[in-house]
């Protein structure tokens, strides 16, 4: 398994670099039209890299971070509510979040279907999902997937089209915003 607790200082120091300007720009645009004081949940938040980015772009958001590794959550800003928990059982109320962030974390979830069920449950109708991950059909993505398998991680990597199809099965409308060895999917929970 990857020792996230021991690596937490490195994720805190260098974690933002993995996102790059294009990805950050997509996140910035996606949060622009969220309502004042919108509630965001960062799932597999780690050291809260994505949450901190959203705070840089807007100062009115209410953030909650979920991660099973307490030492990663230690670095989240004090105004972010943290819960030590996995994505498969999110300790948050149903239909209470405007947006969910999942950054390079979905492939670590033990049970992706259970996690997507939970994300769907906590989102309000019309709520958004920002999903960032690595494409195992590209060389770099394949190398990351291989490394994680060797480390004993779940390594649930999906090509963007594949995870978009899965998300549609959970009632999301999806748009693949950028797709190379890493991709961003913006998904919207279809209104009932
Ligand atoms: C590569 S880090 C990414 C952290 C952060 N989202 C970022 O962008 O820097 C992956 C994170 O997934 C977390 N994780 C592992 N298993 C998980 C699970 N079942 N549910 C939620 N998060 C999990 C790890 O503890 C780790 O913090």
Taking only the tens place, the pLDDT of each residue in 82-136 is 999 999 999 999 999 999 999 999 999 999 999 999 999 999 999 999 999 999 9
Q: Which residues line ligand 1 (CB under 6 A)?
A: 4, 11, 15, 43-46, 49-50, 67-69, 72, 86-88, 103-105, 108-110
Q: What is the pLDDT of residue 19?
A: 93
For residue 192, how far is its CA from the centre of ligand 1 (angstroms)?
30
Q: Which atom of ligand 1 is nearest to the CA of 15?
A: 9
pLDDT confidence of residue 168? 96
Q: Give the fold, CATH level 3, of 4-189.
A: Rossmann fold (3.40.50)
Q: Name the one residue in this structure whose structure tokens are 């994680």.
A: 148
Question: 11 burial class (0-12, 13-18, 19+ CB within 10 angstroms)?
Answer: buried
Round to whole Å and give the CA distance between 100 and 84: 17
In the chain, the percentage of residues whose pLDDT exceeds 70 is 99
Ligand 1 atom closest to Cα of 42?
6
Please, which pLDDT band fits residue 179 given cuts at 50, 70 and 90?
confident
Residue 4, pLDDT score: 97
Per-residue pLDDT, averaged over 165-181, amounts to 94
According to the model, what pLDDT value does residue 178 have? Answer: 86
User: Ligand 1 mean position to 164 CA, how many Å?
Assistant: 20
What is residue 191's predicted lDDT score, i.e. its pLDDT? 77
pLDDT digits (tens, 9 = 90+) for 138-149: 999 999 999 999
> Residue 110 CA: which ligand 1 atom is closest?
19
Please give the mean pLDDT across all residues of the chain: 97
Which residues touch 89 (CB under 8 Å, ≥6 apart)?
114, 118
The alpha carbon of 46 and the centre of ligand 1 are apart by a number of angstroms equal to: 5
Residue 137, token pair as written in the block: 């059909």
Quote the CA–CA distance of 115 and 119 in Å, as a whole number: 6
pLDDT tens digit sequence for 7-25: 999 999 999 999 999 999 9
Structural domain spans, the chain? 4-189
DSSP for the chain reads ---HHHHHHHHHHHGGGGTHHHHHHHHHHHHHTSPTT-EEEEET-TTTHHHHHHHHH-SS-EEEEEES-HHHHTTS-TTSEEEE--TTS--S-TT-EEEEEEES-GGG-S-HHHHHHHHHHHEEEEEEEEEEEE-TTSHHHHHHHHHHHHTT-------HHHHHHHHHHTTEEEEEEEESSEEEEEEEEPP-
Mean pLDDT of 28-41: 97
pLDDT for the residue 125: 96
- pLDDT, tens digit, 9 for 90 and up, residues 161-172: 999 999 999 999
Give the neighbor-by-neighbor strand order of the sheet with 62-67.
81-84, 62-67, 39-43, 97-103, 123-134, 182-189, 172-179
Question: 48 CA distance to ligand 1 centroid (A)?
Answer: 10
Contact 113, 87 (CB under 8 A): no
């Amino acid at each position: 398994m990857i020792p996230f607790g021991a690596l937490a200082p490195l994720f805190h120091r260098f974690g933002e670099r993995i996102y790059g300007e294009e990805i950050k720009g997509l996140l910035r645009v996606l949060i622009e039209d969220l309502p004042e004081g919108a509630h965001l949940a960062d799932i597999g938040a780690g050291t809260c890299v994505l949450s901190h980015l959203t705070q840089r772009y807007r100062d009115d958001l209410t953030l909650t971070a979920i991660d099973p590794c307490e030492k990663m959550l230690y670095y989240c800003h004090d105004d972010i509510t943290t819960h030590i928990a996995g994505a498969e059982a999110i300790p948050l109320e149903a239909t209470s979040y405007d947006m969910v962030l999942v950054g390079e974390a979905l492939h670590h979830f033990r049970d992706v279907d259970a996690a997507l069920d939970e994300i769907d449950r906590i989102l309000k109708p019309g709520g958004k999902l920002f999903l960032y991950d690595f494409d195992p059909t590209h060389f770099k993505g394949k190398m990351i997937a291989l490394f994680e398998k060797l480390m004993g991680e779940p390594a649930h990597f999906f090509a963007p089209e594949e995870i978009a199809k899965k998300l549609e099965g959970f009632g999301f409308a999806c748009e693949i915003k950028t797709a190379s060895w890493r991709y961003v999917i913006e998904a919207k929970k279809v209104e009932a």
